[in-house]
Structure 1
Amino acid sequence: MAEIVQRLREHFMRQEPFGMAAPTFFAELVTRAPVVHFDGMWVISAYELVTRLCTHPDVPMAAPVFTEAVHRDNPQFVRFFRNTLSVRAPEEHMRLRSVLTGAFSGRHLATLRTRIDEVVAELLADPLRAGGTEFVSALAVPLPARVTAVLLGIPPADRDLVAARATGMMHQLSAGFLTESHPEAGTPITAAEFAELRDYVAGLLVRREAEPADDLIGHLAQVRQAGKLTVDEAVDMVLLLFMTGLDTVTAALTNTLVVLQEWPEVAAALAADPSCADRVFAEAIRLRTPVAFGSRQVARDVRVGSLEFNAGDTVILTFAAANLDPRKFADPMEFRWDRPITGNVAFGHGSYYCLGSALAGMTAQSLLRALHDCLPRIDRPLADLPWRASLAFPTPRLLPVTFAPAAAESGAR
């Protein structure tokens, strides 16, 4: 127990273990130390407890703690993020979330499938002609950004600029968190750029009020006109949706390629039958969860099972470990075709479950189907891949790949 807790401390200090060894560590953590309490915080890995705490009204999402530099240099960004539905009190969170539920329904998302396939084909054209690419920058980063732009209804001429601004917001968030600042953070969005982006979104909402459209911004414009949202809430929601899922989906797509390299029989089965892409993606993100941790803060003294939490306690939910809990998943370190597609916590659980998870799945399935007969082969040993120095996203930073015809052999499914 003491040894695994020390390794956990080292993990939080970004000393080890990262990279390919991370799932092994998380599997040991959930088995040997499913509940850890040290340095004023709880680290919860057991699947049953993680899911219970995700749905507990007295354990809401923790509010971000930004550095003094971010408060000074970009106060409007701080105000924006601290008022988004991600960190609102449970009642306000559910009110704002309910506004989006219909827009993320399976029926509505199904209407986007053809357009997502078109985005995938557009991004793949040059890499396939070249016979290879750096997967993260060429595909895993721009794909979720462009799909989000399609969902929102951003005019095609503006999509690259909006994607760049969304990436800048993610860098600002990463660089600005006291707990997640690290040297790999890119260039944060400036105060002037953020103000310009807010004005741009406000203008889109006004335009959709005058000229309704069947996209998410059009939906929010109608909701605002009905008095269910303020102008600031509608703008903040669009800005959050610019950001939401970008890093998560990037990590999920990248980690899926790593899993396919680890399990060549799975890649062969996908080559033989691209319709299994949904199952491949679900099992890949269970094995290598794109978001390792979620943070919660206890609102008042509460007892959950045998655990007693005090108001103000920080609770770290270890999603990457919960997905490897043998009490929930038999043979948790194995890729198994017979597992249900639902049930893992790769995109969270409960009231804070990622609204865009179905869209992420559609995006991944579109990419895997498009590549099923020429799956990317990673061009260097997995042990030599450079990994992000980020607690939140255990994923390769670079992934050089070559496209080659896949060996189509049916797998046992």
Structure 2
Amino acid sequence: MTDHLSWYDEIREAERVHWDGETRSWYITRFDDVWELLVDDRLGARSAQAHIERMTPAQRELCAPVMDSVSKWPVFTDVPRHTTLHRLILPCFAPAETQRVTGVARSSLKSAEPADWCSDDIVEAVIQPACVAALAAFLGISPADVTRVTEWSARLIAFAGQTAYDHEVVTEATVALREFGDFVMRTCAAGNSVLSSSMRRSLREGVLDRSEVVAVYGQLVTGFLQPTISSLAMAIEVLADDTAVKAAFEDAPDTFIAESIRLASPFHFAPRRTLRDMSFAGRLIPAGQRVVLLLVAANRDPRRFPDPLRFRMDRGTPPHVAFARGRYACLGAGLTRHLMRAVLTALVEQPAGLVPPAAVEWHVGRGMRMPLRLTRSKA
């Protein structure tokens, strides 16, 4: 199965809850159901992983360090530990820090040359460098180090996304975790951002240990760069191909950004597990089962969003679930929206005709949407 989005749409229209034997998961796809279950206390954050049960003892031993690290990412942590992590991380997204990080992105955009704006791939030439600069400022690292950080993160994500034991993936993730952990400790010691200073203080006071700090950085790297770039790529594809949309963005930027994020839905699902036997839509889901809340299918639900695959400014800003909600809502959602506004404002301020029409070539996997490249098209 390669067309994941079509399959997600099919099961949404067929039934409210779908059992998939291959992934041993219950899929919830309709908007109203996903909206409610995102805050349902019958579901825990860390999902069950059936493939672990099929591992040999030796394989489980090899996986243990990375499994332990990923399980400590805030998004996979249950209360009360999640409450502690949330309290420590939330100030890192305060308005002053958001403005500082967004200002770094604006400086990068201002330094872009006209040739960059009309390059064959505006995402690679302009958008990604601005987002990389913002991420570096937020983490308290050099922009030159972002490539290594994102490579380490990608290997950890590949491990977390396994549905069967893969020795190469496990080996690469183990090395990445060790190198990433050492890098994070050096970054916290330097204290060059609100985040790194907060983590250094938490280590010193014994509120968090090394593995928990590394887990915080791992999640923030994963949740910051790629989703922002994906949402921007979606917005740019719409903006660059329709001159009428430029005025629509200038009149209602929040609506434009919300609709771009809804259509992009960079992360496709929120994995959960049942904490106790749970009755839902006439089905009994036993305790300990994996439940997948399909954010992307919910954001394409025609019951909530008529004509869901079209970009429509007349929707206003109805809630979507691209950033989830409740205690596990994306803490960086506000920062993402600020960065998108800065980038898109810079785009529409370019001289007429400088940015030609464009189309994004996407990689759409089981769990994520990522732009591969931007190609030019005729007006």
SS in 2 for 1:132: coil
SS in 2 for 1:199: helix
Letter in 2 for 1:353: A
Match of 1:221 in 2: 200
Alignment check: 8 A CA contact 1:80 1:236 kept: yes
Letter in 2 for 1:47: F
Alignment check: 8 A CA contact 1:61 1:86 kept: yes
Q: Structure 1's 73 and 250: CA in aligned 2 closer, same or farther, altered over 3 A?
A: farther
Once structures 1 and 2 are overlaid, which stretch shifts more, 368-377 or 344-353? 368-377
Once structures 1 and 2 are overlaid, which stretch shifts more, 60-69 or 363-372? 60-69
- 1:314 shift after superposition: 1.9
C-alpha separation in 2, matches of 1:133 and 1:70 = 45
Alignment check: 8 A CA contact 1:376 1:401 kept: no
Which aligned pairs between 1:74-113 and structure 2 lie closer than 5 A? 76-113=65-102
SS in 1 for 2:363: coil
Alignment check: 8 A CA contact 2:48 2:290 kept: no
SS in 1 for 2:196: helix
Q: Structure 1's 365 and 189: CA in aligned 2 closer, same or farther, altered over 3 A?
A: farther
Out of 99, 111, 119, the residue aligned to residue 132 of structure 1 is 119
- Deviation digits for residues 185-241 of structure 1, max 9, x if unmatched? 999956445423322321332343xxxx65211122234444432343233323332
C-alpha separation in 1, matches of 2:116 and 2:59 = 41
Flag structure 2 segments of 5+ consecutive residues without an equivalent. Answer: none
Alignment check: 8 A CA contact 1:58 1:298 kept: yes
Match of 2:374 in 1: 399
C-alpha separation in 2, matches of 1:226 and 1:99 = 12
Which aligned pairs between 1:148-167 and structure 2 lie closer than 5 A? 148-154=135-141, 156=142, 159-167=143-151
Match of 2:211 in 1: 232
Match of 1:281 in 2: 257
SS in 1 for 2:292: strand
Number of positions where the alignment pairs a residue of Structure 1 with one of Structure 2: 368
Q: Structure 1's 319 and 134: CA in aligned 2 closer, same or farther, altered over 3 A?
A: same
SS in 2 for 1:397: strand
Q: Structure 1's 264 and 327: CA in aligned 2 closer, same or farther, altered over 3 A?
A: same
SS in 2 for 1:343: coil
Q: Percent identity?
A: 22
C-alpha separation in 1, matches of 2:41 and 2:226 = 27
Q: Structure 1's 200 and 27: CA in aligned 2 closer, same or farther, altered over 3 A?
A: closer
Q: Structure 1's 300 and 186: CA in aligned 2 closer, same or farther, altered over 3 A?
A: closer
TM-score (norm 2): 0.81
C-alpha separation in 1, matches of 2:240 and 2:8 = 20
TM-score (norm 1): 0.75
Q: Structure 1's 197 and 41: CA in aligned 2 closer, same or farther, altered over 3 A?
A: closer
SS in 1 for 2:369: coil
C-alpha separation in 2, matches of 1:187 and 1:148 = 27
Out of 52, 56, 65, the residue aligned to residue 40 of structure 2 is 56
Alignment check: 8 A CA contact 2:155 2:176 kept: no
- 1:301 shift after superposition: 0.7
SS in 2 for 1:133: coil
Flag structure 1 segments of 5+ consecutive residues without an equivalent. Answer: 1-12, 407-413
Alignment check: 8 A CA contact 1:29 1:321 kept: no
Q: Structure 1's 202 and 394: CA in aligned 2 closer, same or farther, altered over 3 A?
A: closer
